[in-house]
Amino acid sequence: MSSEITKGLTILKRGDQPALCLVTGATGYIGGRLIVELLNAGYKVRVLARNAQRLRDHSWINQVELVEGDATDTEVLNNALSGVNVAYYLLHALLVKGDFEQLERNMAEGFGKAAKANAVGKIIYLGGIITAGQEASPHLQARLDTGRILAESGVPTFELRAGVVIGSGSASFEMLRYLTERLPIMTTPKWVKNRIQPIAVRDVLRYLVGTAGLDNKHADIYEIAGPEIFTYAEMMQRYAKAAGLKKRWIIPLPVLTPRLSSAWVGLVTPVPVTLARRLVDSLKNEVVATDNRIRDLIPEPSVGLTVFDRAVKLALVRIKEARVETRWSDASSPGTPSEPLPTDPDWAGGTLYKDIRIAHTTDSVAKVFERVEAIGGDNGYSTASWAWELRGLMDRMVGGVGLRRGRRDPKHLIVGDALDFWRVEEIIPQKLLRLRAEMKLPGLAWLEFGVEQDYETGGAVLTQVAIFAPKGLFGHFYWWMVWPMHGLVFPSMARSLANSNRVSKHR
């Protein structure tokens, strides 16, 4: 059944059966999301992955055929491409140190030969927009060479060229996110004045899925882009507004070379320096689409292409709606393709600080959860109640609710209850209690308790998680300012609730 993204697209069939699509780069940003949309559209999907274990947490893992192995191995490629109607080429070597350009060319040559030998119906390749008349960076030149090599293989090749992709997990978007959130005032390289035409990940996926249904007579190079054009600096300001941040002060400095720029990005953001350097090198080029022919072949969604502000809000919805990743949530099934996936890198999805404490006890699950549900109000929080009272006083001094609201009932809670400066967001009897902070904070915070049976001892295991999503630079400062208090408050709270001295800390 088609999703909102794939609705209205022509689906390729072979006889009365849906076509078989091979997706490479399944652990990459686009690949894992593309698989979901291909399955939604009704395609049969085969996945080529170097390490199949990295895919085990995806919700679709039992719906695809899996081939494990390296894309440089001819035998592996033949196994993966046998009987394939559509092959998606989403491989790159951006994180490889050294001559990554030659490695990318070699991979493309091997893939093209194997695709031809196995009579693959078509290749769909996602590359980058290259502005005519401008010198391409090594990264963009490698993208250009890859597309040419695949097209020369003799297999009908559709090359879709995109610029900055907006969605949580996209390296370009994460650079934008971290720079904007962490630096209210910044001196920047002169490339922030360059024009770009970003595209939402949901629109990229629609074009990729839609291209599978195109007649091979249309095999060519197409540029895909969103509906808006602005400078990188303007994009940062638009992101700040969408994220609820104040206007950023951006001061371009022409003396910042690409090498210095990438080092600066690597210092300010968690994006790996090698990746940052290659992406920053590409930002010296304007990335604006000059060819919209793809829109004549693949119909736009009924709501039109995604504007930048909506794309950002979709990327931020995971944190804003409190859908944070915990051991009790289904992290493998994001609400939208704009959100993080299990195979995204650790730095994707924005900063989410956690303090995790695990306590083992001989008490039963029912008894431990009874203490958890009675937390706060006149019952207090732990042996370090003075620290919570101090935090409540600090909250009242800045106009917050403090601890004065107390509890509706001394023993029982329901979703929506006010609990001191918390709100009950979710409660599953004898399993989970999640509280969302309503105190004055430079960010969003949750306190979560999970109780499980300990089958080894017959007792219970309490997992206590404090989660904080910072807003702006001060949000990061706040977490580290209160961090020393965590060592006093959180262990004693877990110890008290579990009635146990066996408390361990986990990152």
Question: 18 pairs with which residues across the strands?
Answer: 13
Q: What are the structural domain ranges in the chain?
A: 13-320, 353-506
- The average pLDDT across 6-22 equals 88
pLDDT at 84: 95
Q: With a cut of 50, say whether residue 202 has pLDDT above it.
A: yes
Q: With a cut of 80, say whether residue 472 has pLDDT above it.
A: no
| pLDDT tens digits along 231-270 | 888 988 998 888 888 888 887 776 655 566 666 666 666 6
pLDDT at 406: 77
Higher pLDDT, 89 or 51: 89
| pLDDT tens digits along 102-160 | 888 888 999 999 999 999 999 999 998 887 766 666 767 888 889 999 999 999 999 99
> What DSSP state is assigned to residue 343?
T
pLDDT at 323: 45
- The average pLDDT across 189-204 equals 86
Nearest to 311 by CA among 470, 234, 204, 161: 204
**How far separated are the first and last CA of the chain, in Å rounded?**
39
Backbone angles phi, psi at 139, to 5 degrees: -65, -50
- For 407, the token pair is 């509890």
Q: Which of 187-191, 270-274, 338-342 has the lowest mean pLDDT?
A: 338-342
- Contact in structure between 89 and 21 (CB atoms under 8 Å): no
- Percent with pLDDT over 70 in the chain: 83
Q: What is the CATH number of domain 13-320?
A: 3.40.50.720
Q: With a cut of 90, say whether residue 417 has pLDDT above it.
A: no
Backbone angles phi, psi at 345, to 5 degrees: -65, 160
- The average pLDDT across 323-347 equals 44
pLDDT grade for 450, boundaries at 50, 70 and 90? very high
pLDDT at 399: 73
- Percent with pLDDT over 90 in the chain: 30
Alpha-carbon distance values, 346 to 171, 243, 272 (Å): 11, 21, 11
- Give CA–CA dist 442/474, Å, rounded: 7
In our burial notation (b when 16+ CB lie closer than 10 A, e otherwise), range 397-427 reads eeebbbbebebeeeeebeeebebbbbbbbeb
Mean pLDDT taken over the chain = 82
* CATH, domain 353-506, list 3.30.530.20, 1.20.1260.10, 3.30.750.24, 3.30.390.30: 3.30.530.20
Q: With a cut of 90, say whether residue 83 has pLDDT above it.
A: yes
pLDDT grade for 277, boundaries at 50, 70 and 90? low
- Give CA–CA dist 129/444, Å, rounded: 37
- The average pLDDT across 205-232 equals 94
- Give CA–CA dist 362/289, Å, rounded: 64
DSSP three-state, residue 198: coil
Q: With a cut of 90, say whether residue 44 has pLDDT above it.
A: yes
pLDDT at 258: 57
pLDDT grade for 507, boundaries at 50, 70 and 90? low
Question: 89 pairs with which residues across the strands?
Answer: 125
Instruction: List Cβ neighbours of 215 (8 Å cut-off, separation of 6 or more).
Output: none
pLDDT grade for 185, boundaries at 50, 70 and 90? confident
Q: With a cut of 50, say whether residue 329 has pLDDT above it.
A: no
Q: With a cut of 60, say whether residue 370 has pLDDT above it.
A: yes
Q: Which of 316-320, 366-370, 423-427 has the lowest mean pLDDT?
A: 316-320
The C-alpha angle with vertex 351 and arms to 177 and 274, in degrees rounded to 5, equals: 65
In our burial notation (b when 16+ CB lie closer than 10 A, e otherwise), range 185-204 reads ebebbebbebebbbbbbbbb
